[in-house]
Amino acid sequence: MTTSLQRVLTTLGHQEPDRTPLFLFTTMHGARELGLSIQEYFSRAEHVVEGQMRLLEKYRSDCLYPFFYASLELEAFGGDTLFIENGPPNAGRPIIHRSEDIDQLEPPSVAKAVCLFRVLETIGQLKARVGDTVPIIGVVMSPFSLPVMQMGFDHYIELIYEQPARFSRLMAINEAFCVEWANAQLAAGATAICFFDPVSSTTNIPRDLYLKTGQPSAMRTLKRINGPTATHLASGRGLGIVADIAATGTAVLGVSALEDLALLKDAARNKLTLLGSLNGVEMRRWTADEAEAEVKRAIAKAGRGGGFILADNHGEIPWQVPDDVLLAIRDAVDRWGRYPLNWIA
Amino acid sequence: MSELCEALEALDRPRIEALFQRALATDGPLQVIERLIVPSLKQVGDGWHDGRVALSQVYMSSRICEDMIRRVLPARAPGHGGQARMAIVVLNDYHMLGKRIVYSVLRASGFDLFDYERMDVAEIVDRAEADRLDILLVSVLMLPSALKVPELRSALEARGVHVRIAVGGAPFLFDTNLWREVGADAVGYSASDAVGIVQQWMEEAK
């Protein structure tokens, strides 16, 4: 029987596996499985391990996703996290209050950042449970996107345009941290690293600026990460920079529901595996029929020839998405994702 | 106008300033705003919605226009001269960029408004009542914040604050039915949409 890891590796090789791999990025749903609040759930590695294993059994996703929340990295820099009862934790106040603060900023040591240990413990325990059968996806924020939490998006945009020297220093700090954090997760047992880089999306900055800022930062960072990476634009647009992102050395691109998956597939063919692009916001009110139709549409546009993993388009399924919808997605992949995809006209 | 749009998208501040001064040489500030700035910012905003222009360009260009307008048309109290009394707020979450852009675009379009920064439902109700608002612009990034709008609407009505609510932010882009579901009166898909919504509501109130 084909394992999830074999299935994913085949599609990453731009070959057709037995069926389309499905990554259900359920981070918070494990809390519901265990009857815990989201804050309680993320307070212990054992909770997340148990939650991820229960979700794996329930939805038969082709990955484990030991991602806690993005602001964990801000915590490593001395910031804090704000929990809510029905959604992902938010970053607290920025740690860079004035751009001059960057002059004194230093990258935190992963080995000393206690807040990160829970993630490493989770990855290690999951690896002990599944071995090499199911890919374990670690997560980092890209050095180029982390400043949105570190200093606020408005001040960060101003920094990019107006203070190139301080921008470069901030990238050097964040790149050092990102590489150490990614490699620690790989050493703990992660199979690959999802490199969240929404600021690089053409939704957020123009391509010419990306080529001078986000792309070189990604290139410097990814080549120092000791394992495969997937770049995720977290719902942002990327069609205009597919080849530029491929040039960073990443293997996978998480794409937006706002762009045509068929056009993305043409642009990425044999260069990048596409990951996406089910609309997570709409998903919470889909019927089973709508879920099936969306799965079918995505597979029809991007499934042929491999190089495609079906997932939501943001990298995190909202808390509000009910089990019924996720199970309907699972069933639809079983029905329409089997290769060869002869049903496609 | 297209010349200004090009300069705005390129963030070419000297050229933007020159075009603005050239327009001011023949027209008053209000005419320049109406005929040049508002349509140009709308074109930039539409470009973002269509995927041709990036958020960083929208943000920086709106700030440049806001600065220029502030010099010739200093901020006054919201509600002056027959304008609607309006405010903008980030509801519950902590992502301020969208609100900042809409605020700048409205200021650059000649509107004065309260900036509530970030508030929860109870804080908004208190301020909306005290400021006797006609219009409330609500910006969110996170889906749970968008789903708080019905609670906000109910709390405002329970207090007897009858205000029209326009919403904007990522969840509404990804689910175009969401604004109706949460009971908003309008949705903006780009910052410049806020100008049209406010203008329309002010017309209707006449």
Tens-level pLDDT at each residue, chain A (345 residues): 899 999 999 999 999 999 999 999 999 999 999 999 999 999 999 999 999 999 999 999 999 999 999 999 999 999 999 999 999 999 999 999 999 999 999 999 999 999 999 999 999 999 999 999 999 999 999 999 999 999 999 999 999 999 999 999 999 999 999 999 999 999 999 999 999 999 999 999 999 999 999 999 999 999 999 999 999 999 999 999 999 999 999 999 999 999 999 999 999 999 999 999 999 999 999 999 999 999 999 999 999 999 999 999 999 999 999 999 999 999 999 999 999 999 998
pLDDT on residue B82: 83
Question: What are the chain B neighbours of A91 within 8 Å (beta carbons)?
Answer: 94
Contact B142 A88 (CB under 8 A): yes
CB atoms within 10 A of CB A128: 10
Q: Are A279 and B172 in contact (CB under 8 A)?
A: no
- Amino acid B178 reads L
pLDDT on residue B122: 98
Question: Best residue in B49, B174, B178 to probe A by mutation, most A CBs within 10 Å?
Answer: B174
The residue of chain B nearest to residue A282, with distances taken between CA atoms, is B175
Report ipTM (2 d.p.).
0.95
The residue of chain A nearest to residue B141, with distances taken between CA atoms, is A90
CB atoms within 10 A of CB B118: 15
CB-CB: which of B57, B96, B144 is closest to A84? B144
pTM: 0.96
> What does the H/E/C string look like for chain A?
CCCHHHHHHHHHCCCCCCECCEECCCCCHHHHHHCCCHHHHCCCHHHHHHHHHHHHHHHCCCCECCCCCCHHHHHHCCCCEECCCCCCCEECCCCCCCHHHHHHCCCCCHHHCHHHHHHHHHHHHHHHHHCCCCCEEEEEECCCCCHHHHHCHHHHHHHHHHCHHHHHHHHHHHHHHHHHHHHHHHHHCCCEEEEECHHHCCCCCCHHHHHHCHHHHHHHHHCCCCCCEEEECCCCCCHHHHHHHHCCCCCEEECCCCCCHHHHHHHHCCCCEEEEEECHHHHCCCCHHHHHHHHHHHHHHHCCCCCEEEEECCCCCCCCCCHHHHHHHHHHHHHHCECCCCCCC
> Which runs of consecutive H residues, i.e. helices, occur in B11-51?
13-24, 29-32, 38-50
pLDDT on residue B1: 61
- Amino acid B29 reads P
Q: For residue A251, give both structure tokens.
A: 């293997």
Note which residues in 7-46 of chain A have CB less than 8 A from chain B.
none
Q: What domains lie within chain A, and their CATH numbers?
A: 4-336 (3.20.20.210)
Contact A90 B93 (CB under 8 A): yes
Supply φ then ψ for residue A311, to 5 degrees.
-160, 175
Edge-to-edge strand list for the sheet holding A229-232: A22-23, A308-312, A273-278, A252-254, A229-232, A192-196, A137-141
The residue of chain B nearest to residue A207, with distances taken between CA atoms, is B54
The residue of chain A nearest to residue B172, with distances taken between CA atoms, is A281
The residue of chain B nearest to residue A279, with distances taken between CA atoms, is B174
Instruction: Give A109-115's long-range contacts (Cβ < 8 A, gap of 24+).
Output: A109/A180, A110/A76, A110/A177, A110/A180, A110/A181, A110/A184, A111/A184, A113/A75, A113/A76, A115/A72, A115/A75, A115/A76
Question: What are the chain B neighbours of A319 within 8 Å (beta carbons)?
Answer: 144
Q: Are B79 and B85 in contact (CB under 8 A)?
A: yes
Q: How many CB pairs under 8 A join A and B?
A: 80
Note which residues in 113-152 of chain A have CB less than 8 A from chain B.
152
Handedness of CA B63, B65, B70, B76 (dihedral sign): negative
Contact B60 A158 (CB under 8 A): yes
Q: For residue B50, give both structure tokens.
A: 């269509």
Question: What are the chain A neighbours of B97 within 8 Å (beta carbons)?
Answer: 152-154, 157
Contact B94 A91 (CB under 8 A): yes
pLDDT on residue A185: 98
Contact B171 A92 (CB under 8 A): no
Question: What are the chain A neighbours of B12 within 8 Å (beta carbons)?
Answer: none
CB-CB: which of A154, A158, A320 is closest to B96? A154
Contact B175 A203 (CB under 8 A): no
Nearest alpha carbon to residue A277 among A244, A253, A250: A253
CB-CB: which of B51, B93, B143 is closest to A318? B143
Contact B174 A282 (CB under 8 A): yes
Give the 3-state secondary structure of residue B136.
strand
Is residue A202 less than 8 Å (CB to CB) from chain B?
yes
pLDDT on residue B76: 85
End-to-end Cα separation, chain A, in angstroms: 29
Contact A157 B59 (CB under 8 A): yes
Q: What's the length of chain A?
A: 345
Ranges of chain B with pLDDT below 70: 1
CA dist., res. A52 & res. A49, Å (int): 5
Question: What are the chain A neighbours of B145 within 8 Å (beta carbons)?
Answer: 87
